[in-house]
Amino acid sequence: MSFDGVIFDFDGTLADTSEGVIESVEYALRKVGSPSFPRETLKGFIGPSLFISFQRITGLSPENAERAVEYYRETYSREGIFKLKLYDGVRELLGELKERGVKLSVASAKPQVSLDVVVEFLRLDGTFDRVVGPSLAVKSDDKKELVAAAKLTENSVMVGDAVFDIRAAKAVGASSIAALYGFGDRRELIDEKPDFTAENVADLKKILFERERDF
């Protein structure tokens, strides 16, 4: 049978949020007195927990990471959150899936309060049957609970650009599609052995709709 539910990650899967995220990280690093980092390095902040990323990527202590997260949220909520764009073909893909009666949801590590804002800003409110993000207090990269809450059908597939998307899909019994066009490490994603890989949104559409015709 074809997938009757699709769970999407947000950053790096539905939308390119890099400009707003990176600018906000740079602001936070300046505020805590950290040296600057190449923008390519800071792309690693897109998707994972901010608290963990400030320690792992920029070497901040837990105390300074806490401060950096606060500074990040200060500027991101005011400006950075609106510096994003849907990937080409995403709006059309969502519309076609919706027309076919597929249950659509989002499971993102982006805090729920931010997720709700960007979904409305992009005029996607009403598109998804459920949108799930963590509270601001969560500091983990584990998305199992988020994906479980976003899984609306038994035959669901998770689409994401990070290894923890693929791991969460497996943990809740969903199929998985690795979005290789996002910000996750390509080799790490492939090593997780997702059920499918998509080089771009056109590939993603092909996987979802050609699979439907096969059954």
- Given this model, what pLDDT does residue 63 score? 96
The CA distances from residue 25 to 29, 31, 85, 163, in Å, are 6, 10, 18, 22
CATH number of the domain within which 34 lies: 1.10.150.240
- Given this model, what pLDDT does residue 138 score? 66
d(CA 175, CA 169): 6
Residues 31 and 115 in one domain: no
pTM recorded for the entire structure: 0.90
- Given this model, what pLDDT does residue 211 score? 60
Domain span holding position 22? 18-82
Boundary-marking domain end, from 41, 61, 82: 82
Residues 191 and 127 in one domain: yes
Per the listing, tokens 């600018």 go with 23
CATH number of the domain within which 139 lies: 3.40.50.1000
Residues 99 and 158 in one domain: yes
- Given this model, what pLDDT does residue 213 score? 44
Q: Which residues share a beta bridge with 5?
A: 103, 156
Q: Which residues share a beta bridge with 105?
A: 7, 130
Q: Around Cβ 19, how many Cβ atoms within 10 Å?
A: 14
Residues 24 and 101 in one domain: no
Residues 116 and 165 in one domain: yes
Boundary-marking domain end, from 82, 101, 133: 82
Check if the beta carbon of residue 196 is closer than 8 Å to that of residue 167.
Answer: no
d(CA 41, CA 45): 8
Residues 56 and 97 in one domain: no
- Given this model, what pLDDT does residue 137 score? 73
Each residue's pLDDT tens digit, 171-182? 999 999 999 999
Residues 91 and 74 in one domain: no
Low-confidence ranges of the chain (pLDDT < 70): 1, 138-141, 211-215
- Given this model, what pLDDT does residue 141 score? 65
> What 3-state class would DSSP assign to 86?
strand
